[in-house]
Structure 1
Amino acid sequence: MNIPNRITLSRIFLIPLFIFLLAYPFEWGAMNIGESDLPVSHFVAALIFIFASATDWVDGYYARKYNLVTNLGKFLDPLADKLLVSAAFILLVELGQAPAWVVIVIISREFAITGLRLVASGEGIVLAASQMGKWKTTIQIIAIATLLLHNFPFSYIGFPFATISLYAALIITVVSGVDYFIKNWHVMRGSK
């Protein structure tokens, strides 16, 4: 349980607070951000989401720089990402900020990859995140953050950046999932 793994765990522990801020209807008021009003609770939840997402970069950088990469970290890091991103997407559907079908496709890909990792684990193989998977996570985080912020700052100019980034996240999520399965198909066949 080194420092990068503790940072990853802190990301997991921030998820319930993030969920609570979005799921409970706080009456803290709202900020006018161009085309819509942004509830203060959504703004605070977005800040927590952005902070938690930033810890993903911090723990990875720290682990690589000080040679603290572990199998536990290879398992926990993508799991923490999936938990945070899945919680955010589900809440965005609840809030009417994202179409359910898009979120179903994205979360289904996450379950499929997790299943592949479990099969690999049974074979004694640890599958780390791919580079395309890291890009996928980055684009998903950007999409979620802008959706949580009700398209701020792009709402001032009427540019639908949040919507565009959501569909970009959908596309790279599907493409990276197919790529991951193709590259790791040997695991499904049972050969190393």
Structure 2
Amino acid sequence: MRKNLPNILTVSRIVMVMIFVVLATLANHAYLSEEWIFPLRLGAYILAILAGTTDLLDGHLARRWNQITDFGALMDPLADKIFVTATMLIAVEYRLMPAWIAVAVLCREFMVTGLRTLAAKKQVVISADRWGKLKTALQMVMLAIAGASWVWEFDLHSAKWFGVRLWYVWIAYLCGIVLVTVLSGLGYFIRYRDLFLHTGDDKSEK
């Protein structure tokens, strides 16, 4: 069991995200009666939190137990992208964030995934740096706040805090996340530019 636990967590994240999408889609006032809305949204929110937790656990356990496998190396980043894409699309659908925020974050995620794929072909491992970890932490907090406001139907658009509309504070926070996300991605491309600029014989980077 222990031998396969990191991979089990990775696969479970994908399954939980799929169920989350179904529940979040059904939890619309247009589809079901009022009494079903809150339980479905709460269930979807809990699944998203659990999926995010497995994102932190699977890689950590694989490294700690020295159980890094080809399956895990392939599926873990894919599961991460599925999670981020699904949660952000739901957030956009429910008007919890502007679409351009999701587009900016997802573009960075897929570009870095492409860079890591290229690096893997050249036997170079690109590990997450502190900016990448900060980006992930900020995104998790963002999704937790957005999810909570969605479950309990707290209107970020009209609510005020000391006379200031919370929507403006929320947008400022989202813009900060986009800035950190883009800069962290740019850092990878600058640091590993030889991977895609080098035209001679490939040399593995140690």
Normalization by structure 1: what TM-score?
Answer: 0.81
Deviations 1:117-174 (A, max 9, x none): 2222332334333332222112111101211111789x69955475454333212111
Q: Which residue of structure 2 lines up, in the alignment, with residue 177 of structure 1?
A: 185
Q: Which residue of structure 2 lines up, in the alignment, with residue 187 of structure 1?
A: 195
Query: Are 1:27 and 2:29 an aligned pair?
Result: no
Structure 1: give runs of 5+ residues left out of the alignment. Answer: 31-37
Tell me the SS of whatever aligns to 2:68.
coil
**Equivalent residue for 1:5, pick from 7, 25, 36:** 7
- Equivalent pair of 1:119/1:187 in contact (CA under 8 Å): yes
Determine the C-alpha separation between the residues in 1 that align with 2:183 and 2:147.
Answer: 25
| One-letter amino acid of the structure 2 residue matched with residue 69 of structure 1 | I
Q: Which residue of structure 2 lines up, in the alignment, with residue 92 of structure 1?
A: 91
- Equivalent pair of 2:42/2:151 in contact (CA under 8 Å): no
Q: After TM superposition, give the deviation of residue 88 of structure 1 in Å.
A: 0.7
| One-letter amino acid of the structure 1 residue matched with residue 174 of structure 2 | L
**Equivalent residue for 1:14, pick from 13, 16, 20:** 16
Call closer, same or farther: CA 1:78–1:164 in 2, change over 3 Å: farther
Q: After TM superposition, give the deviation of residue 28 of structure 1 in Å.
A: 5.2
Q: Percent identity?
A: 32
Determine the C-alpha separation between the residues in 1 that align with 2:184 and 2:58.
Answer: 22
Show the 5 A alignment for 1:94-173.
Answer: 94-150=93-149, 158-159=160-161, 160=166, 163-173=171-181
- Equivalent pair of 1:74/1:126 in contact (CA under 8 Å): no
Determine the C-alpha separation between the residues in 1 that align with 2:173 and 2:188.
Answer: 22
Determine the C-alpha separation between the residues in 2 that align with 1:71 and 1:54.
Answer: 22
Larger Rg, first or second structure (1 or 2): 2
Structure 2: give runs of 5+ residues left out of the alignment. Answer: none
Q: Which residue of structure 1 lines up, in the alignment, with residue 62 of structure 2?
A: 63
- Equivalent pair of 1:18/1:45 in contact (CA under 8 Å): yes
Q: Tell me the number of residue pairs that the alignment of Structure 1 and Structure 2 aligns.
A: 184
Call closer, same or farther: CA 1:158–1:72 in 2, change over 3 Å: farther
Determine the C-alpha separation between the residues in 1 that align with 2:193 and 2:170.
Answer: 34
What is the RMSD computed on CA atoms of the aligned residues? 2.7
Of structures 1 and 2, the one with the larger relative CO (CA 8 A, separation 6+) is 1
Determine the C-alpha separation between the residues in 1 that align with 2:179 and 2:33.
Answer: 36
Q: After TM superposition, give the deviation of residue 105 of structure 1 in Å.
A: 0.6
